[in-house]
Structure 1
Amino acid sequence: MVTRGSTLIITCNSTSNPSPPIYTWTLPGSTILIGASLNVTDIQPSRSGQYQVLVWNRMTPTGGTSRNGTSDAIFTVDVQCMLIMSYHR
């Protein structure tokens, strides 16, 4: 859960050989970002939903065929509005 207007920061770490891996983030609305960290400033309720990070690299063994290695994670972000109440007499 994240409060509307705040900053959402998620960092993904992985160990790969060869390095470095490539990180691809898919956000609600099919927005795609590249990098090990996801940083969404001034997050709004429209950014609630499923997020996915895909990590991959390519290995080319000596005398062999290139292969991609991949791993992914899917998670849900819920952006909440802060309720401010005032009391008047």
Structure 2
Amino acid sequence: MKKMGRKELLRKLQELEFAAVDINLYLDTHPENQQALMDYNSISQQLLEHKQIFEMNYGPLINFGFSPSKYPWAWVNEPWPWQE
């Protein structure tokens, strides 16, 4: 995977999240579609990997126990993802 900057990585996360939701909705009505399930699992894995890379480099994306923080507490660091 090529090295991405903060903005580029956030954009990739948005794309992967959109695709995951889209395929999830499709699978709700087509649960027997094995290719769609394989695509969903692949996108879910990519999403997890990209989230981990983002959080290692730029801090947590979400709080309340879903994203661990390095020392010092990084949740208050700016800019926030939606301020870009």
Q: TM-score, normalised on structure 2?
A: 0.23
Structure with higher helix content: 2
Structure with higher strand content: 1
Q: TM-score, normalised on structure 1?
A: 0.22
| Higher RCO structure (Cα 8 Å, ≥6 apart) | 1
Bigger radius of gyration among the two: 1
